[in-house]
Structure 1
Amino acid sequence: MSEAKCTPADDLRIDVWLWAARFFKTRSLAKQAVGGGKVELNGGPCKAARAVRAGDRLVIRRGEETMEVEVLCLSAQRGPAPVAQALYRESDASRKAREAARATRRLTLAPRPSGRPDKHDRAELRRLKEGGSGPG
């Protein structure tokens, strides 16, 4: 496992850090998430240019997933996943809540039909899409 490359600087833009830590695929997506209120820094809202420092606490919401992390190291360079995971530490409560939510989502999902729809399935789908009650 590689060591994380920490920058000698005291702070770094939060959107750059989120991208480098692999929370978002692009820096643009990270900037949109921060601007959209999906990321909180030390319990409050922030802007994309806000500086993040080692020791800061972040709450990151991605879809149905919420993560509470502590910034351990700063890096402006995006690297492999093991290096990115060394930049932060997720709280135990956050990890347990995410796993519990994932388990409930897995149990509540409807089973997917196997194979292609047959004649009757297609007719039912057509009725649902068109809003009709049936033939005739």
Structure 2
Amino acid sequence: MRIDKFLWCVRYYKTRSIATQAIQKGHVTVNGQQAKASREVFPSDKVTVRRDQINYILTVLDIPANRVGPKLVDIYRKDETPAESFEHLELLKLSKAHYRAAGTGRPTKKDRRDLDDYGLDIDDDGDE
């Protein structure tokens, strides 16, 4: 089975075209080598997928006939992604939430001025 179709079948990408674009950008490797979308995968292949700032490491256990439901995905692949990757992603989310609450939209002029005032107070002539 083609690698783009496999990643679509095991629900790592929503469409095959998105999977193909990710492969073309170099986000997918098979057995340590850069993959093309037409690359065939076989059971026991190691697939690395870079998505959402995480390198997912998968082992192909079996080839599905077509796209499978979310509960059946574990029959066809084994996820060997280290837990530290997910912890790192949580830390990134927390650090971003520190600056601005989610869903508050773009900063207003007042917010920008407040941010500017929070920095160094610099006079017009450049002195502090």
TM-score interval for Structure 1 and Structure 2 normalised by the shorter chain: 0.7 to 0.9
- In structure 1, how many angstroms separate the alpha carbons of the residues matched to 2:4 and 2:79? 18
Counterpart amino acid of 1:124?
K
| TM-score of the aligned structures, taking structure 1 as reference length | 0.71
Structure 1 position 125, deviation (Å): 3.9
Q: Deviations over 1:1-51 (max 9, x none)?
A: xxxxxxxxxxx1111100000000000011111111100000010110110
Q: Gapped runs of 5+ residues in structure 1? A: 1-11, 129-136
Give the match's secondary structure for 1:82.
helix
**Contact 1:19/1:26, CA 8 A, preserved across alignment:** yes
Name the CA distance, whole Å, in 2 between partners of 1:122 and 1:80. Answer: 44
Q: Which residue of 1 aligns with 2:38?
A: 49
Q: Which has the higher contact order (CA 8 A, sep 6+)?
A: 1
> Distance between the aligned counterparts of 1:116 and 1:107, measured in 2?
16
In the alignment, the residues of structure 2 paired with residue 75 and residue 113 of structure 1 have an alpha-carbon distance, to the nearest angstrom, of 42
Per the alignment, residue 63 of structure 1 pairs with 52
1:116 positional shift? 6.8
**Which aligned runs of 4 or more in structure 1 are off by greater than 3 angstroms?**
111-117, 125-128
Give the whole-Å Cα distance in 1 for the aligned partners of 2:102 and 2:73: 38
TM-score (norm 2): 0.75
Partner of 1:108: 95
**How many equivalent residue pairs?**
112
> Cα distance 1:95–1:122, how it changes in 2: closer, same or farther (>3 A)?
same
- Which amino acid letter does the alignment assign opposite residue 27 of structure 1? R
Tell me which amino acid in the other structure corresponds to 2:37. A
Structure 2 unaligned residues grouped into runs of 5+: 115-128
